[in-house]
Structure 1
């Protein structure tokens, strides 16, 4: 797929927020009740401001746009937040719209953010598509598990770690 990757600017915050919630609905609609998504949509103005503040503070997000300029993917990484971080770099999020799954957009975002180096991430237990994608990229579960925040209905998730491609 012909796409454009670029770092997000504060001007992208609204499109990012809308796309992010749409991707959640597509990815997690079978796991979370309609009330969850209604709450997320009601909180869009606050979330847009949080994205603007985060980008302004130097916490970058990478964006993928399709040939028509529509935002179809977002991703972010940074210093690991876990007390027992298995490495320095954490993939915080990677979301693409369902209509472009399998076209290399997620791979392009992952490569742009992580390169071939060591990294880790958290993934929902009931997200086999994402888990398969991460396994193809060298990530394996390390045995660490937790429950999401109650606002996410305490869904179970586990950590996956990649020592580095070819290392």
Structure 2
């Protein structure tokens, strides 16, 4: 059974926040130092508040619901995607893919592609991805995104990011 994808509401904030933190742990294991990763992914209250605030302000977020009706709160959301107007002053296109994650149990199931199709479609967009995140880089390349040569440092995880664009 495929996860249902729908717009997130403020009521989804805690389940989405759990997905967010657990996705970070799964996606960034081996990229981010273990102690830093644990520190950055341990404050569920802060992440829930951030989700609730962003959703309350009208941010666009789509969630994929775990098809298991008995899934506990921490497993209720299987993935998510966030988009919006580009936040970079020198943005190469007007639309930004701000975040896309799926839980590891849903990797290679097509869920990421479904989320991308629902929230972005074929329109031009840009995003930031950590250098060395080969799994994510491969996913984005398969969907037409290429590096544009711009880099920056992410202080939260202390990693370099590269910008990818699809025109």
Q: TM-score, normalised by structure 2?
A: 0.91
Aligned to 2:73: none
What residue is the counterpart of 1:101 in the other structure? 107
The answer as to 2:150 corresponding to 1:152 is no
CA contact (8 A) 2:37 2:157 kept: no
For residues 41 and 127 of structure 1, the distance between their equivalents in structure 2, rounded to whole angstroms, comes to: 18
Is residue 94 of structure 2 the alignment partner of residue 88 of structure 1? yes
Give the 5 Å matches for 1:26-41: 26-41=26-41
**TM-aligned CA deviation for residue 17 of structure 1:** 0.9
2:41, 2:110 → 1: CA distance? 28
Contact kept? 2:24, 2:41, Cα under 8 Å: no
CA distance in 1, matches of 2:38, 2:130: 21
- Structure 1 unmatched ranges of 5 or more: none
TM, length-normalised to structure 1? 0.91
The answer for the alignment partner of 1:18 in structure 2 is 18
The corresponding residue for 1:121 is 127
The answer to whether the 8 A contact 1:21-1:37 is kept is no
Residue 50 of structure 1: how far off its partner (Å): 1.5
Matched positions, count: 161
Q: Secondary structure at the match of 2:67?
A: coil
How far does residue 41 in structure 1 lie from its aligned partner after superposition? 4.2
The match for 1:111 among 114, 117, 135 is 117
Q: CA deviation at 1:36?
A: 2.3
Return 5+ residue gaps in structure 2 as ranges.
70-75
Cα distance, 1:41–1:148 mapped onto 2, change above 3 Å: closer
1:34 Cα shift?
A: 3.1
Which whole-Å CA distance do the structure 2 matches of 1:131 and 1:104 have between them? 16
